[in-house]
Amino acid sequence: MFSLDGKVALVTGAASGIGAGIAEVLAEAGATVIIADIDKAGAEAMAERLVTAGHKSDAIAVDLTAETSVVRAVADVVSRHGAPWLLVNNAGLQDRQLLFDETVAGWDRTLNVNARGPFLMTREVAQAMVTAGGGGRIVNIASTALINMLAKGHAAYAASKGALAALTTATALELVSHGITVNTVLPGGVATPGAMHAKGPPPEGPAIRRPLMGMCEPRDIGAAVLFFATPAARYVTNQQLAVDAGWTLS
Ligand SMILES: NC(=O)c1ccc[n+]([C@@H]2O[C@H](COP(=O)([O-])OP(=O)(O)OC[C@H]3O[C@@H](n4cnc5c(N)ncnc54)[C@H](O)[C@@H]3O)[C@@H](O)[C@H]2O)c1
C-alpha cells in the first residue's frame, strides 16, 4: 500500500528544507528521487547523500521562474529516467512585506516561484505522464497561511499559495481522466533555512500563536506527500491535508 518501488519522483526545491525531507521519505519508500533545484551544487549534494544511504537519486538544475529552464529540465529527466510517476511542487519563497511597502517586483518574485513555477512544472510533467499513459500523482506544497497561520506581510505569499490551491483543483479536474491525482499538503511551522531567514518585517498577527505539539520536521511533511503518492491514496484527488502540529487548535 505504501511502496514507491520502481517509481520516479521529481521534487522541486529538494536541495534543502522541507523538500529535502520529502525526498528522504520518498527514497526510503523505494522511489528514484530527482532533486530539482536552482541550487545545482546543493541538489547534487542531496542526491549524493541519498545514493550514499543506499537509495536511488539524481539531480537536475532548474530555475522555476524561467520557462525554458523548466522545459529543458523536465525533458532531461524524462530522457534519463522516463516520465515521473510523482511531481512534488515544493520550492517556494516565504518573504514577507507589508501591503504599503510591497512592490510589483516583490509581488512578481513570490508569485513567479510559488505559483507560475508550479504551473509550468505541472504542464510539462503532466504532459509526459499522459504520453507515458501510466497515470501519476502531483502534490502541491501550499501553507497553513491559507487557513489559520496568516501573518501580516503575507499578501503576496498567501496569494501565491491561494493560486497554488486553485491550480490543484483546476488541474485535478483536467487530469482525472488520465489517472493522475492532484492534492495539496499545507505545512505549518517547519524550521528550515527559508523560514528562518525569510526577509521582511517580523511575523505579527495570528501566526504568533504556536503549534501545540511543537514544530514539524521536514520529514513530517514528507510522510503526508508519501500518502498521496502511494496506492493507498489511489482514489484521493483534489484534497488538502494540513500537517501543522495542532496550530488550528491554538
Ligand atoms: N518552512 C515552513 O515553515 C513552511 C510553512 C508552510 C509552507 N512552507 C512551504 O514549503 C515549501 C518549502 O519551504 P522551505 O521552508 O523548505 O524553504 P527553503 O527556502 O528552506 O527551501 C526552498 C528550496 O527551493 C529552492 N528554490 C528557490 N527558488 C527556486 C527557483 N526559482 N527554482 C528552483 N528552486 C528554487 C531553494 O534553492 C531551496 O532549496 C515552500 O513552498 C514553502 O512556502 C514552508
Ordered by where they begin, the domains of the chain are: 8-249 (3.40.50.720)
Average pLDDT, the chain: 94
pLDDT in tens, 53-76: 999 999 999 999 999 999 999 999
Residue 249: band (very low, low, confident or very high) from pLDDT cuts 50, 70, 90: confident
- Ligand 1: which residue has its CA nearest to atom 17? 194
Quote the Cα angle for 28-31-32, to 5°: 115
- Nearest-atom number in ligand 1 for the CA of 189 is 3
Share of the chain above pLDDT 70, in %: 97
Instruction: Find the mean pLDDT for residues 123-148.
Output: 96
Say if residue 88's pLDDT is above 60.
yes
Task: HSE, CB side, 13 Å, CA atoms: give it for residue 12.
Answer: 30
Q: DSSP 3-state assignment of 163? A: helix
Ligand 1 centroid to residue 18 C-alpha, Å = 7
Question: β-pairing, 86-89 with 240-243?
Answer: unpaired
Mutation test residue for ligand 1: of 22, 94, 116, 120, the one with most atoms within 8 Å of CB? 94
Question: β-pairing, 56-61 with 86-89?
Answer: unpaired
Instruction: Find the mean pLDDT for residues 34-61.
Output: 98
Distance CA 213, CA 243 (A): 11
- The residue type of 226 is L
Cell numbers representing residue 222 in the block: 514528507
- Residue whose C-alpha cell is 501510466: 134
Instruction: Find the mean pLDDT for residues 181-207.
Output: 84
Say whether pTM exceeds 0.95.
yes
